[in-house]
Amino acid sequence: MSIASVPSASRIHTLSQRLCNQIAAGEVVERPASVVKELLENSLDAGADRIDIDLEQGGVKLVRIRDNGGGIEKDDLPLALSRHATSKISTLDDLEAIASLGFRGEALASISSVSRLSLISRTVASEAGWQVEAEGRDMATSVTPAAAPVGTCVEVRDLFFNTPARRKFLRTEQTEFQRIEDMVKRVALSRFSVGFTLQHNQRVVHRFEKARSPTEQQRRVAQVCGPAFIESAVRVDFDHNGMKLYGWVSLPTFSRSQQDLQYFYVNGRVIRDKLVAHAIKQAYRDVLHEGRHPAFVLYLELDPALVDVNVHPTKHEVRFRDGRLVHDFLFSALHRSLADVRPGDHASSSAVAAGGFGGTSPPVNDSGIREQSRMPLFSAGGMSYADSGNFPLSGQVRNQLAGYAAFRSDPPDNTPATSTARIHPDEAGAASEVGPPLGYALAQLHGIYVLAQNANGLVIIDMHAAHERLTYEHMKSAADEDGIKAQPLLVPLAVAVSEAEADCAETQAEALMQLGLGVERLGPETLSVRQIPAILRNANVEQLLRDVLSDLREHGSSDRIRAARDEILATMACHGSVRANRQLSVPEMNALLRDMERTERSGQCNHGRPTWHQVSVAELDRLFKRGQ
């Protein structure tokens, strides 16, 4: 069919400015939260350090945002509402190294095409402010004088008044406000130096004051994520190869059923990225329950030229120039941060206040621990402590037992458990003035828990969970030292794959060999597996190979082999650890505590459960109403 025979309605023609802007609005303005996001980013790019957000009816009736930024010149106001008009970039070089949050020049034009928009602005050099208005029908603008402080105020009224079909897709007022509230929280975490106020229907909902000191920043994080998060968070601060990662990550014991407390920023821009999510998930793999999600507030800073933010209309996604380098940096930093957490880092979180016992405080011994009267150790059924040789401690712990002679109770090991025991400081001087973080063992409870006393109060240790983690970490260290031992297959396994997967296997043959997988290409879509890691001889080799190739193609690296190996080691550690109802001597319990203080990730077992819990003296005082 020739073009001449096509009906006139189907002929090629230029779209009107109004329709172009409304099409663009479909990409940028999804709901009121989208409007607030775009306007907030403009305010931040203008250098504002005070921003007030005022909403009515979930932002559908009114969105008003005031800032004290640099303002807009009078002659630029009509241009500010035009498509592809911006002050943030001017050349291709600017586009390839974007440092601002906005740069497309579409936000105001798109918003004004589906609402009644009014903008008042004043610069420092101007004696008065100026106002520009636009309505969605014809996009005509008019500029008039207006009284205004330095900065900009944007009012967006009656969102989607001229596109009723779009308005039908909006949710309830409360739902739309909740989306705006979540978005404002994300922005508030991105700029600690800026104060924010959020008001809905004439009621102030949030007020975030400027946070310059670390303490104030931590307070803002607690405002957004809750005090429980900041109390259970580890501070991250790493610098390497021109990249900087800092912020807070939750301990594995503070996990979520949803991914609702995850904030990640790249050069101040909040993003969602599969590569980032994979690196963080990988860092938590060893310490988090299946189906649970970590909480974090993390900031990545790197050269703007190394990250492309121009890949999505809403700028929620980015593309890194060297994704593998960023992935490995994130994983290494978070993995190290979680591994470096020791009981001493959090055991002192609830310090004992002076006189907190109520009445006369018990005396404090040389180690800083309050001495108690001699009391009988608990024993289930009157059983005596077992000989240390029956307790499957790691070789390292066994060698250390002799060094813990100073911790031994006065009675001999075979004394019935109904005898008494006293706590003694470490005569070797290894303990600090307040004693070791997990303190000194007092007794066992029901053959399951170890009770210990430290400077802050009572420590309760799940001995099976703790020893399971210790055994697992020792086994992993030994396996890492020996490397991955490969085992040739008697009969090579032929695996049918896609051509892209076969190409990946061919180009990554050396990387696969380092993982213990010997793979050759037999044809365009066929691979031959000739060797596998010895410890995975009973694994589903075909599925394992596909998963590894998928990781290599997506992230440039794979931890599938290590994850499968660690899963086997975790099972072995679980079965090889001390079981419930095993009676331990005081030296054995103290040896377990000292090994926990030295071992990585000892705060959680292999399944993500906590291994110990601190009960402060103040909590005990409240329980028994002492001093009341």
Domains of the chain: 17-207 (3.30.565.10), 214-341 (3.30.230.10), 347-474+579-623 (3.30.1540.20), 481-574 (3.30.1370.100)
pTM for this predicted structure: 0.74
pLDDT mean across residues, the chain: 80
Lookup: tokens for 21: 């802007």
E strands in 428-525: 440-445, 449-454, 457-462, 486-496, 518-523
CA distance 549 to 517: 11
Nearest-angstrom CA–CA distance, 519 and 508: 10
Angle between helices 560-576 and 541-555 (to 10 degrees): 130
Residue 195 and residue 112: Cα distance in Å, rounded? 27
pLDDT under 70: residue ranges of the chain: 1-9, 18, 21-27, 102-105, 135-140, 312-315, 344-434, 580
Q: At 178, list the tokens.
A: 């909740």
Exposed / middle / buried, residue 405 (Cβ in 10 Å: 0-12, 13-18, 19+): exposed
Question: Distance between CA atoms of 552 and 323, rounded to whole angstroms?
Answer: 12
DSSP string covering 100-162 = SS--SS-HHHHHHTTSEEEEEEE-TT-SSEEEEEEETTT--EEEEEE---SEEEEEEESTTTT
Query: Alpha-carbon distance 315 to 298, whole Å?
Result: 18
Q: Cα–Cα distance between 387 and 585 in angstroms, integer? A: 8
Q: How far apart are CA 411 and CA 408, in angstroms?
A: 8
Residues 6+ apart with CB under 8 A from 231: 349
Show the CA angle centred on residue 610, arms to residues 609 and 611, nearest 5°. 115
Q: What pLDDT is recorded for position 618? A: 92
Contact assessment for residue 465 and residue 370, using Cβ atoms and an 8 Å cutoff: no
| 8 Å CB contact between 603 and 255 | no
Q: Phi/psi of residue 324, each to 5°?
A: -65, -40
Other C-beta atoms closer than 10 Å to the C-beta of 301 total 15
Q: CA-to-CA distance for 312 and 325, rounded, in angstroms? A: 22
| Helix pair 323-339, 274-283: axis angle to 10 deg | 30
d(CA 449, CA 353): 27
pLDDT at 104: 63
- Cα dist. 450→134, 214, 465, 471, 531 in Å? 71, 37, 11, 18, 46
For residue 400, with 0-12 CB atoms within 10 Å meaning exposed, 13-18 middle and 19 or more buried, which class applies? middle
